[in-house]
Structure 1
Amino acid sequence: MSIRLNPYLNFDGTTKEAVYFYEKALGGQVIGIMTFRDVPEDPNHPLPDEMKDRVMHAHLKVGNDDLMFSDTFPGMPHQPGDTVQIAIHPADESRAKEIFAALEDGGQVVMPLQKTDWSPLYGIVKDKFGVTFQVNVAAEQAQ
């Protein structure tokens, strides 16, 4: 059974700047940057104009490791101590559900496990210690 972990950093509208800063500072390589504008819009939940150019997801490869990033929504509370999350990539959906349930015990679900455009199963949970985890099954790993 395999599992990978990586830091996921959140910023208040400065993600692009941060990604390129860390790329230079750490000798990394930007794998991709996706803005909220790049994702198909849900007509039931229109995206505010000020959100469209914010980063939904960015990926920086540093050696064999990954750093991932995104911007918060405008007006969303942004505490500097809350800027790092841990992204967990279990090999299959059943393991993702087990991990999510264990982290949820005494914690708070931020986003329930669900199918997304990039994953068959993705969710966000803050554990009882205040640490936020993103649980993500890669599409090619789903079983």
Structure 2
Amino acid sequence: MSIRLNPYLIFNGNAGEAIYFYEKALGGQIMGIMSFGDMPSVSDHPVPEEARDLVMHALLKVGDSELMFSDAFPGMPYQQGSAVEIAVVLDDEAQARKIFDALSEGGEVVMPLQKTDWSPLYGMVKDKYGVSFQVNVAGEQ
């Protein structure tokens, strides 16, 4: 089993600006930036126009570490400086379910575990201590 924990930094519309700042400040390399508008349309949940250019996910490699970035989706609560999530990246779906269930106990499921365009199994949970986690089974690269 393989497991990685990555800091996931959440911004309020300026994640694109922030990733370039951290790239320069930390001597990192941007591995990719995807906007909410880059995602395929889903008729049940269309991306609002004001979200299309916001960063849905970006990855900055710094040495042997990775920082992940996203903008808060419009309408989601945001408090500057405290919006850090932990991305739990696994290679085993059973282990991902076990960790997700454990973190959910006494907490709040924000997004149930489900297949996404980037992962065979992905979900979000806020644990009973208020810490937000994204549980993600690594998809094929």
User: TM tier, shorter chain?
Assistant: over 0.9
Larger mean CA deviation between 26-35 and 67-76 belongs to 67-76
Question: What is the deviation of 1:43?
Answer: 1.9
Question: What is the deviation of 1:47?
Answer: 1.5
Classify the secondary structure of the residue corresponding to 2:96: helix
Question: Which residue in the other structure is 2:127 paired with?
Answer: 127
Which residue identity does 1:30 align to in structure 2?
I
Question: Which residue in the other structure is 2:48 paired with?
Answer: 48
Question: What is the deviation of 1:37?
Answer: 1.0
Question: Which residue in the other structure is 2:76 paired with?
Answer: 76
Question: Which residue in the other structure is 2:35 paired with?
Answer: 35
Q: Structure 1 length as normaliser, TM-score?
A: 0.94
Classify the secondary structure of the residue corresponding to 2:119: coil
RMSD: 1.3
Aligned partners of 1:80, 1:137: CA distance in 2, in Å?
28
- Residue-by-residue CA offset, 1:5-28 (whole Å, 9 max, x unaligned): 110000010000110010001000
Q: Does 1:95 align with 2:95?
A: yes
Larger mean CA deviation between 66-75 and 116-125 belongs to 66-75
Q: Which runs of 4+ in 1 moved over 2 A?
A: none
Aligned partners of 1:73, 1:86: CA distance in 2, in Å?
17
Question: Which residue in the other structure is 1:4 paired with?
Answer: 4
- Residue-by-residue CA offset, 1:22-43 (whole Å, 9 max, x unaligned): 0001000000000011111112
Work out the percentage of aligned pairs sharing the same amino acid.
Answer: 67
Question: What is the deviation of 1:81?
Answer: 4.9
Classify the secondary structure of the residue corresponding to 2:61: strand
Aligned residue pair count: 141
Which residue identity does 2:87 align to in structure 1?
A
Question: What is the deviation of 1:2?
Answer: 2.1
Aligned partners of 2:105, 2:74: CA distance in 1, in Å?
30
Q: Structure 2 length as normaliser, TM-score?
A: 0.95
Which residue identity does 2:127 align to in structure 1?
D
Classify the secondary structure of the residue corresponding to 1:140: coil
Classify the secondary structure of the residue corresponding to 1:19: helix
Question: Which residue in the other structure is 2:63 paired with?
Answer: 63
